[in-house]
Structure 1
């Protein structure tokens, strides 16, 4: 059983979730090379709807309308098929709710995206920036290369990046490796390392970070574990990961402590803010291989890397906020959809003063509880907003809310009206706590990330470290956080302890 997790919306599944069923053993061979967009799931029917956003009578296909609108508003130069489908699904949800209010017989319809090449840019063989792949640009003036990611993305001078040919048929691995020689908040210059052979790099090449510089996670290893031969192999593999590890000595400050037990290696947290959360210790079992232990430790390092992201030069610090509120169902539709609204007119904020004080928010939840959020903005700009949940039970990172698309207007306005998430017209289902019976209590951190400009942070999504990795699958989770040109971006976080009162 997997640990309890704050669930993503299930009614309209994200493309990554929807594709799990399509990528089983019987997947058509064409889906390994092509991308298929479908109007609905296998057990659903495509529907015609009243044409939205017009006073003229008429009808159109729900999928066709949502797809055309999404393509009109997105930037086809930078949008991947998976990103396009997220926008299509959000539009379909909002339209279905509106149609169900006016007409009987409206059914659930979930547009789908199938195929293994979903991260390719629309109508191109080039990949998007969602799997750690960063477009490489030639810089003839400096006789070097440039990428649109810099220190704000965690890329500093000394970072190492592998170069890959974007030819879809190329299976030979990295062409060469480049090193960052100069970086500002949004761009970086890359050159060949001194002494390395200079090779020709194609115009459409991309790079992937293989080693970050300027950041490390501090790990203290129990002396008993240091004597273990398998651990020595694990340590060597961990040192090859993208996040540098500082191996601490007893008495030195550390982020994690690794202690051998009868069941395996226990991972203990020592950061003061994490101790306050009192998260459950995680054990890397004796049955795990050295490769698997190293992979899980790398995922833990990635988790901390993203959780600690801050913008000390933010021009909007303290000018945005988030509230967590309990919802109730106010209407059920024949096609399975439901409408929700705040349970109380007072909009009791379940986070309380925890955002300002740094305290842990104590929550109670059952299977029946549904939650929503209100995001507010007092800055000088309308903002794009993302809500993520960092789960300390399994080190997963989940997206709870994302903007409808990169070419749409920023949804978090600065007009005094909050943005509702999980109810109203947000196109997002209410948040809920899924109880697997693994624990009566879970801990995690909500993160609200805002930006004056749209940014691609889909790479931050990280599955549970307990989920097996399929053969050939790459889970780097370390794509680049592309920052806007200004300092109008920032994050706020709040730790939560959730007591699940109906565990069976």
Structure 2
């Protein structure tokens, strides 16, 4: 393996940062170079799970810096697993377990063991052949675990010549051994991991820690003598202004761009503030915007003959002595005006930046030989307005429609609005929004801005009796939803989406209009709210809160493409299996109770609730030749709550790793996919409950993090149905002692 001098610089930088954050020196353990062997690393992780110095819920940082690679599994050579390469790793020897790398599934076992003993407070980063583990009890306010991996997940890839790659290709025939006897050090009490090999530490451990990875699964991680590029950027961000307000998601999304290397963030708690257990709940959902050339409008002069397709110069003064701003082409003309499009030679990654000053169109027309001279003097007409256009990386897959409205902001701050924008064009994953402003504009529109959807394109339809119309009066002019951007329509008569009813003179109940619910006799939501005083606005606020929850709930439940090209064609589908606990490849895990029995029959799952604990698992099958992103949610229609079962990771500009490779599947609740098994029970006082599994799949990354929500009803916040092991193994044995005389 090639030496990595930047590794020591990285560990020193992380060490210095922790000391500056008042971490106790005796709570920091470092293995450098020849001390960072496979046995020593695993022994240190084992000790961390068992030592008494680190208490339950203490924050823990796991940081590894060094080479990383991928290797075929000895159990299934068709499957590659990711491997961290300790100091004593020998690339040419795949038989001796003591010189093996540390497979991802091996690391998963140790991290999960630490999580069980110390709580979900791991902080981690892998970056060289050095290991740093620290308890952050005295430098963090709350508990959390973060795993940071700064090493290659593959041994190939293009790289800049001034940087070294922290990875390499293994020799043909190398196989990574992961059976039980090759996992832990001798006499280790930690059980072996299953043989299933899909980035297990990143998926099954998502509830125990947040993973920050230097690059995607198919990219190299680069370093210079000064340190790894990822760790250098990470330290700069952690030491920067406003670091105390950073979440893991925002940290990765806002890191500077590095060519051929996209840092990744995965984990259930990725919206927590760094190194804490406090979750950031954004009041607004901003989209990053990039300015597009847009169009300009000019009022024509009778002496200025202009035709579609003509090209002209635009200056910043009423003569050609002023600087040339840009060139334009005539898009369309009318009797009195013309619409102009800037001519730009910038690449797709660059942004058009118009000057913020008066602009004038020269009547000297451009030809293939240059600008045509005129017999009459050149006329300069002021540009009167501009269509400011921004592009956002979100479209119909995000629930945006052609009727959506946006406000544009300089920062992620709702107070910094530059005006309202409408959707000009939309695709599955992108949209262009536009606003017409007079010139010169009082606002300086930045090349990069942030868009906030202020009005969705679909209304929530509501019906209510006459004695509740005062609620409609209170709603007048308001929008619903947690971001207050969903319009509503009060219908009379039905069928609406939600109907308000007077349960008694002091209580409002809610009916839901859904064909599946009505088929099984479920018509009412499980909660009701008090509302008896027409003159007191606070009396109707609880009703408005439920309606807002319903607006978000049904918007996401009915997010569907105009044409189904994946799910309804049978190329991608969901399976559900009854699970049971048992021995799997030498370890105790969930497994299918009947592998041949898919519980989804006739496009629905019917479950009899007899009071027993019956865990379920899911499998998302991808029969296409494309890798896909996937997300799975449970919509509990009785409580209007939405629970996330699986979401893809996060990276800058949406360049996260795919969830499911082509012609493979992703399991949830069992197997290599990890996650929690799920259970369902009928609520007390009801005979039937109805919920919906909602699967989203896409070929491009989509942010689904804003979908999940708690119930808007007070006092009935339902558990999310996670199955907790109740039958983990215990055993005994006896050994007879036979004695006799000679």
| Distance in 2 separating the partners of 1:217 and 1:459 | 18
State the Cα deviation string for residues 334-393 of structure 1 (Å, max 9, x = none). Answer: xxx9511111243x222222x1xxx56334364632111122232332322221101112
* Structure possessing the higher radius of gyration over alpha carbons: 2
Structure-2 residue corresponding to 1:8: none
State the Cα deviation string for residues 424-451 of structure 1 (Å, max 9, x = none). Answer: 1113122234788676653210112222
Q: How does 1:80-479 map to 2 (within 5 A)?
A: 102=184, 104-106=188-190, 110-111=208-209, 116-118=245-247, 119-122=249-252, 124=254, 132-142=285-295, 143-166=388-411, 172-192=415-435, 199-213=443-457, 215-226=458-469, 228=470, 231-238=472-479, 241-250=484-493, 252-262=494-504, 263-277=506-520, 278=522, 280-281=524-525, 282-286=527-531, 289-316=539-566, 317-331=569-583, 338-346=588-596, 348-353=597-602, 355=603, 361-364=606-609, 366=611, 368-403=613-648, 410-415=658-663, 418-433=665-680, 441-466=688-713
| Distance in 1 separating the partners of 2:591 and 2:584 | 12
State the Cα deviation string for residues 397-437 of structure 1 (Å, max 9, x = none). Answer: 1111234566565443443x543221111131222347886
Q: CA RMSD in A?
A: 4.5
**3-state secondary structure, aligned to 2:516:** helix
TM-score normalised by L of structure 2: 0.46
- Inter-CA distance 176–194: structure 2 relative to 1 (3 Å threshold): closer
State the Cα deviation string for residues 444-476 of structure 1 (Å, max 9, x = none). Answer: 1011222223322112122221369xxxxxxxx
- Inter-CA distance 380–314: structure 2 relative to 1 (3 Å threshold): farther
The number of residues matched between the two structures is: 396
Whether the aligned pair in 2 keeps the contact of 1:367 and 1:432 (CA below 8 Å) is no
| Distance in 2 separating the partners of 1:274 and 1:329 | 33
TM-superposed CA distance for 1:148, in Å, is: 2.1
TM-superposed CA distance for 1:123, in Å, is: 7.6
Give ranges in structure 1 of 5+ residues lacking alignment: 1-29, 31-38, 74-95, 469-504
**3-state secondary structure, aligned to 2:528:** strand
Q: How does 1:67-78 map to 2 (within 5 A)?
A: 67-68=148-149
| Distance in 2 separating the partners of 1:181 and 1:266 | 40
Whether the aligned pair in 2 keeps the contact of 1:192 and 1:198 (CA below 8 Å) is no
| Distance in 2 separating the partners of 1:144 and 1:387 | 34
| Distance in 2 separating the partners of 1:233 and 1:264 | 17
| Distance in 2 separating the partners of 1:152 and 1:188 | 11
- Inter-CA distance 69–446: structure 2 relative to 1 (3 Å threshold): farther
Whether the aligned pair in 2 keeps the contact of 1:150 and 1:186 (CA below 8 Å) is yes
Whether the aligned pair in 2 keeps the contact of 1:366 and 1:433 (CA below 8 Å) is no
| Distance in 1 separating the partners of 2:409 and 2:180 | 46
TM-superposed CA distance for 1:332, in Å, is: 10
State the Cα deviation string for residues 57-86 of structure 1 (Å, max 9, x = none). Answer: 37799633352159979xxxxxxxxxxxxx
Where relative contact order (Cα < 8 A, 6+ residues apart) is larger, the structure is 1
Whether the aligned pair in 2 keeps the contact of 1:279 and 1:393 (CA below 8 Å) is no
| Distance in 2 separating the partners of 1:301 and 1:175 | 27
| Distance in 2 separating the partners of 1:326 and 1:239 | 39
Whether the aligned pair in 2 keeps the contact of 1:374 and 1:421 (CA below 8 Å) is yes
**3-state secondary structure, aligned to 2:148:** helix
TM-superposed CA distance for 1:188, in Å, is: 2.5
TM-score normalised by L of structure 1: 0.65
| Distance in 2 separating the partners of 1:330 and 1:308 | 38
Whether the aligned pair in 2 keeps the contact of 1:256 and 1:270 (CA below 8 Å) is yes
**3-state secondary structure, aligned to 2:547:** helix
More displaced 10-residue stretch of structure 1: 203-212 or 281-290:
281-290
TM-superposed CA distance for 1:152, in Å, is: 4.1
- Inter-CA distance 181–344: structure 2 relative to 1 (3 Å threshold): closer
| Distance in 1 separating the partners of 2:182 and 2:474 | 59
| Distance in 1 separating the partners of 2:677 and 2:182 | 18
| Distance in 2 separating the partners of 1:146 and 1:256 | 35
Whether the aligned pair in 1 keeps the contact of 2:609 and 2:681 (CA below 8 Å) is no
| Distance in 2 separating the partners of 1:151 and 1:123 | 22
Whether the aligned pair in 2 keeps the contact of 1:323 and 1:349 (CA below 8 Å) is yes
Whether the aligned pair in 2 keeps the contact of 1:179 and 1:190 (CA below 8 Å) is yes
| Distance in 2 separating the partners of 1:364 and 1:465 | 25
**3-state secondary structure, aligned to 1:430:** coil
